[in-house]
Amino acid sequence: GEDVEQSLFLSVREGDSSVINCTYTDSSSTYLYWYKQEPGAGLQLLTYIFSNMDMKQDQRLTVLLNKKDKHLSLRIADTQTGDSAIYFCAERYNQGGKLIFGQGTELSVKP
Amino acid sequence: GAVVSQHPSWVICKSGTSVKIECRSLDFQATTMFWYRQFPKQSLMLMATSNEGSKATYEQGVEKDKFLINHASLTLSTLTVTSAHPEDSSFYICSARRSPLYNEQFFGPGTRLTVL
């Protein structure tokens, strides 16, 4: 079945690293994504990783993929107050290419 | 590039009326557009997938007669909520994809629908 799960909340101090975790169920997913949503706004694609990769780094963002455990994480280095938002992971379901989203993790960054 | 707009950004309507939401890809042609619904503090749930020139494919549990989707051109898809009721109040988000060969969906800013 289609299921993506995330923890709901994460609170960090400004300057620390944040790690947001996600588990998924569809082992045939080709792409996994991280999106950011600010209050009242749509989704902004942060990064994505192809399923045959273990890691992808993009400036302050590092994505780790453990395909065996179906576990995806997003690490934000030097977290800033502007990073406060809800972060969604999503898997691209192989049939039809639709996206299945997790519940979202609300990241709160305290100064 | 790859900007998707939605109109209106918010709408308040009376119960029983119909509301149309537009989704436009501003600087690219989108063969596929997706419509999502998001309840407060919850995830996005895919409602339907719309391919230009053909009928939309609805997800299980989504009433196609209530949520009418039209994708008449490569830059415009519309979602009409017919005979809206308070339980239809939600945040509706569309996304657009150039073609199945492209990986990325570009999301619109969303439309907040409140039904009184």
SS3 for A50-97 is ECCCCEEEECCEEEEEECCCCEEEEEECCCCHHHCEEEEEEEECCCCC
Q: Which of B9, B23, B43 to mutate to test the interface with A (most CBs of A within 10 A)?
A: B43
Query: CB-CB: which of B42, B46, B107 is closest to A43?
Result: B107
Residue A47 burial (10 A CB sphere; 0-12, 13-18, 19+): middle
The single residue listed with the structure tokens 């049939």 is A95
- Tell me the shortest Cα–Cα distance from A79 to chain B, in angstroms: 22
Q: Is the pLDDT of residue A71 over 70?
A: yes
Place A98 in a pLDDT band, splitting at 50, 70 and 90. confident
pLDDT value at residue A99: 87
Q: pLDDT under 70 in chain B at which residues?
A: 1
- Tell me the shortest Cα–Cα distance from B8 to chain A, in angstroms: 13
pLDDT value at residue B66: 96
CA B17, distance to chain mean position in Å, is 18
Strands B90-97 and A61-66: unpaired
| Closest by CA position to A38, among listed A85, A100, A81 | A85
